[in-house]
């Protein structure tokens, strides 16, 4: 299959091509079109031209387009799922969950609208609020959830009347290109465009004067560069950045019952989740038992190519991240105790044994940094006040979890954690009607929910007097 760019309604070849590697074997399995700066300019110009007519449609008309997109993706769901696993590495059931959720996102956000709202009305006049679309929105997406994180940008942005440029990560461009192929047959020309690069066009997009907003998901260092680049045109920004989420286990739990849940919170998608549990804190009375249970789960986990039935943990998505995670493990080995895993799997591809490390200091890189891989440190604490202080001593503040037999007690701990989301006795429950976003250096703005949709609009206040003054 040819994976092309989508510019002004046309599927086109790139100025060059980009090889795509299957992380399960480390070899090239496909190539796709790669855009140059001239093609980016064409895409932005097309989106700008398409904006007035798209914004002028009724919400019901735009909703119908989004439902048709959802229908078309659903009709090719198996193709999307298999392609997602091949380019990203996650097990097929996780890929199926991502694609199914993406279809729901298109339908859900397509249904939401912002009619003109009356704030106040008196005998002298009234004050109204209008939510107007911004214009051209650029969606820059990462490689860990390349479809889901695109859809929670595309669906709200298009629903409220914006047009779009989508730029996927260079290591996972194919599912975005496939969505572009679907969109080309449904959306008016220019409403949605796909530009694939090798990380060389991002700065052109984020600084472009005709791009009104950038919705970016990725690392905090890259998010800072996006913010700097967008400053020249005072662009609207949504930045969903890195996290170093803490899992706090309280002293009233049954270790055998909660250990699998905490393990899954750390190891889902081979740990490549912004909101994964990246450091686990256990009370001294349960520390040894929890460490051993987590290590046992790590030793028993099935690590394999995501296409194989029964696989629980797939490969790290790309070689650069694979090498970074292995370096973090080696650094942790020198200071702490590796209970399970601790090395690469001796086979082709970017596989790392699920790794559990104990007895690290709070200053260890594996504790301070975002590992984004199948390795987790387990740390001991002696009091709630102490652990909350340690958890909050981070530049990150994306999410976190609390595990307890007493939900009210869990709430009191959650209220003190400095992050955008905290789950109690669950993880990664993210309904589309609830927004999420980061505190501190984990991001700016909200995604999903009504608050996330509002990020794609300009609030306008209209103040009317019944008679001229």
Which of the residues are catalytic?
240
For residue 137, which phi and psi values (nearest 5 degrees)? -110, 135
What does the DSSP 8-state code read for residue 361?
A: -
CB atoms inside a 10 Å sphere around CB 342: 20
Contact 370, 242 (CB under 8 A): yes
**What's the rounded Cα separation, in Å, for the pair 7 and 46?**
7
How far are the Cα atoms of 78, 95, 164, 369 from residue 83, in angstroms, in the given order? 8, 9, 23, 31
Structure tokens at 161: 């009347």
**What's the rounded Cα separation, in Å, for the pair 11 and 194?**
9
Instruction: Report helix, strand and coil shares of the chain as percent, to nearest 5.
Output: 40, 25, 35
**What's the rounded Cα separation, in Å, for the pair 142 and 155?**
17
To which residue do tokens 């270790």 refer? Answer: 255
CB atoms inside a 10 Å sphere around CB 129: 13
């Amino acid at each position: 299959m040819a994976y092309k760019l989508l510019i002004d309604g046309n599927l086109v070849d790139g100025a060059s091509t980009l090889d795509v590697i299957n992380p399960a074997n480390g070899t090239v399995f496909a190539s796709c079109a790669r855009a140059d700066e001239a093609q980016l300019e064409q895409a932005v110009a097309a989106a700008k031209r398409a904006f007035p007519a798209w914004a002028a449609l009724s919400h019901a008309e735009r909703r119908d387009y989004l439902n048709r997109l959802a229908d078309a993706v659903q009709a090719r769901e198996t193709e999307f799922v298999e392609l997602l696993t091949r380019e990203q590495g996650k097990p097929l059931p996780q890929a199926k969950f991502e694609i199914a959720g993406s279809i729901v996102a298109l339908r859900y956000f397509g249904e939401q609208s912002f009619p003109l709202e009356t704030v106040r009305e008196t005998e002298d006049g009234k004050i109204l609020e209008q939510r107007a679309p911004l214009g051209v929105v650029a969606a820059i997406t990462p490689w860990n959830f390349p479809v889901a994180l695109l859809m929670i940008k595309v669906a709200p942005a298009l629903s409220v009347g914006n047009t779009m440029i989508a730029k996927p990560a260079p290591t996972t461009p194919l599912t975005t290109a496939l969505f572009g192929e679907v969109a080309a047959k449904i959306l008016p020309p220019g409403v949605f465009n796909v530009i694939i690069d090798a990380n060389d066009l991002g700065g052109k997009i984020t600084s472009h004067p005709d791009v009104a907003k950038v919705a970016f998901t990725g690392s905090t260092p890259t998010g800072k560069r996006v913010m700097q680049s967008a400053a020249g045109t005072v662009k609207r920004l949504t930045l969903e950045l890195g996290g170093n989420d803490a899992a706090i286990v309280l002293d009233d739990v049954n270790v055998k019952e909660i250990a699998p849940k905490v393990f899954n919170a750390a190891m889902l998608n081979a740990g490549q989740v912004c909101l994964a549990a990246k450091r686990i804190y256990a009370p001294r009375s349960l520390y040894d038992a929890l460490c051993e249970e987590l290590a046992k789960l790590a030793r028993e986990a099935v690590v394999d190519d995501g296409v194989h039935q029964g696989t629980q943990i797939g490969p790290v998505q790309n070689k650069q991240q694979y090498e970074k995670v292995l370096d973090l493990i080696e650094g942790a080995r020198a200071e702490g105790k590796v209970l399970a895993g601790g090395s690469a799997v001796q086979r082709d591809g970017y596989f790392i044994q699920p790794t559990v490390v104990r007895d690290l200091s709070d200053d260890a890189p594996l504790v301070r940094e975002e590992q984004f891989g199948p390795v987790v440190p387990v740390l001991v604490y002696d009091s709630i006040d102490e652990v909350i202080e340690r958890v909050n001593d981070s530049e990150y503040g994306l999410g976190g979890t609390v595990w307890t037999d007493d939900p009210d007690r869990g709430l009191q701990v959650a209220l003190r954690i400095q992050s955008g989301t905290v789950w109690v006795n669950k993880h990664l429950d993210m309904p589309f009607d609830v927004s999420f976003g980061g505190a501190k250096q984990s991001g700016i703005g909200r995604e999903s929910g009504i608050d996330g949709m509002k990020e794609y609009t300009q609030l306008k206040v209209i103040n009317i007097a019944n008679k001229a003054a």
